[in-house]
Amino acid sequence: MLSEVLTGEPAATSADPRGLFVGLATLDMVYRVPEHPGPNRKVVAVRQDLAAGGPAANAAVTFAALGGAARLVTGLGAHPLGRFAAAELAGRGVVVRDTAMEWAEPPAVASILVQDSTGERAVVSTHAAGMTVTPPDDLAVEVAKADVLLVDGHHPALALPAARAAAEASVPVILDGGSWKLATEKLLPYVTVAACSADFRVPGCASPPEAARALARYGVVTVLVTRGPDPVLWWSGGRSGSVPVPQVVARDTLGAGDVFHGALCWAVALGADVVVPEAAVRFAAAVAALRCSIVGPRAWLDDPALAELARSFPKGFPG
């Protein structure tokens, strides 16, 4: 059986920004519900969607939608559900390197409830626990060709060698810091920008400023903390600041953080400053706000406003 398979053909040109995304891909079953069901209750969904998901995968989809050449190194496996997810990603312009083709079981399947009135989501997933992935022999070559690398902390057998190769090739590394994971501490010495959620907790740290100082001691250049509709906080080189985010009616928050990270990668790949990151953060927040304003995991990608945001960067997003 194949140990690896490549799905999709590059749609972008050699002049487009190149992003490499290493981490989790899932199959998301998304149900939009009038309310979250209580114990021993059933609820009828008002809408259902089936699409690939996962932090690295969603970021790659965003990067591709903005006009970049996105490559995803992940594990989905030979099961039909895994092949469906890989094909869905390829259909969105992402080249998928699946390093788990000897895995015959279903991939990580996430069951997601999105509340219709608020757009808030609840997620249940195994996060591909137990899946065996094998780094491609040419992973360092893939990394060296990229303008930016994103790792999400999942699949450390892939993430760690990719991050090391990026550091050796002077490719900026973005960490999707959704939560502290087993491999996070080993990744940090290679990270350029740690883009953390409000739920990210550095062991022994009680506040975001304290966490930022701790991450800086590992060698992280810039730390971001996203906080939903509240301003994004940042720390870099002894400086700090905050960036307000566009205020929209939140219709669907699923994957908003992943979208932020994908847009951030796109800005960094185009040369945006990561030491004073306000322009890149402003842009990423605008893209994430657009995603939150539209129902469904993929419908927002086809909104003309996304192409307009891409065209307006960097002039429309001053630091």
State the SS3 of 178-221: CCCCCCHHHHHHHCCEEEEECCCCCCCCCCHHHHHHHHHHHCCC
- What is the C-alpha to C-alpha distance for residues 65 and 107, in angstroms, rounded to an integer? 24
The confidence score (pLDDT) of residue 4 equals: 76
- What is the C-alpha to C-alpha distance for residues 26 and 302, in angstroms, rounded to an integer? 22
- What is the C-alpha to C-alpha distance for residues 266 and 164, in angstroms, rounded to an integer? 21
Q: What is the pLDDT along the chain (319 residues), one digit of tens a residue?
A: 466 777 776 655 666 899 999 999 999 999 999 998 989 999 999 999 999 999 999 999 999 999 999 999 999 999 999 999 999 999 999 999 999 999 999 999 999 999 999 998 899 998 888 899 999 999 999 999 999 999 999 999 999 999 999 999 999 999 999 999 989 999 999 999 999 999 999 999 999 999 999 999 999 999 999 999 999 999 999 999 999 999 999 999 999 999 999 999 999 999 999 998 999 999 999 999 999 999 999 999 999 999 999 999 988 787 6
**Continuous segment of H or E residues that includes residue 290:** helix 278-292
What pTM was computed for the model? 0.95
Domain boundaries, the chain: 7-36+45-312
Specify the 3-state DSSP secondary structure of 85.
helix
Six token digits for residue 33: 């519900």
- What is the C-alpha to C-alpha distance for residues 246 and 282, in angstroms, rounded to an integer? 9
The confidence score (pLDDT) of residue 1 equals: 44
Measured in degrees and rounded to the nearest 5, phi and psi for residue 290 equal -60, -45
8 A C-beta contact, residue 218 and residue 188: yes
Measured in degrees and rounded to the nearest 5, phi and psi for residue 283 equal -65, -50
Percentages (nearest 5) of helix, strand, coil residues in the chain: 35, 25, 45
Which single residue is written with the structure tokens 């040369």?
Answer: 271
Alpha helices by DSSP H, listed for 67-207, are: 80-91, 139-145, 156-169, 184-187
8 A C-beta contact, residue 313 and residue 283: yes
Six token digits for residue 262: 């994908």
How would you classify the pairing of strands 222-227 and 230-236? antiparallel
The confidence score (pLDDT) of residue 8 equals: 76
7-36+45-312: CATH number:
3.40.1190.20
The confidence score (pLDDT) of residue 315 equals: 80
